[in-house]
Amino acid sequence: MSIAEFLLAIAGLTVVTVVTRSFFFLSKREPVLPEWVKRGLRYAPLAALAAVVTPEIVMSQGRLVTEPWFDARFYAAAAASVYFFWRRGILGTIVTGMAVLLPLRLGLGW
């Protein structure tokens, strides 16, 4: 890719980003979202988190984990899930997962 193509790509991406992000600010009135969209947007953070975390748990170096019984991430995710369904707290879920993951990684070298 030449410098001109690189700069053109950066400029194009900048224009697209500015236009799409300022679309709602340029409007004279606040857009009204249907109730079904508002309900669906409540699940967006959870869906994004699952999309980031799930591949990290079930894949290793671009391949599916074939023996999850010897992978610390499997046990950490299981412990964190149990904690979440028990207490429904996000911070405790993270702490529980890390409390299981770190000893297995550092102690057993998984």
| Number of compact structural domains in the chain | 1
To the nearest whole number, what is the mean pLDDT of the chain?
91
Q: Which domain holds residue 83?
A: 3-108
Checking if the pLDDT of 76 tops 90, the result is yes
Mind listing the pLDDT tens digit for each residue in 36-57? 999 999 999 889 988 998 998 9
End-to-end Cα, the chain, rounded Å: 41
Structure pTM?
Answer: 0.61
Alpha helices in 42-89 (DSSP H): 44-58, 72-87
For 65, phi then psi, to 5°, come to: -70, 125
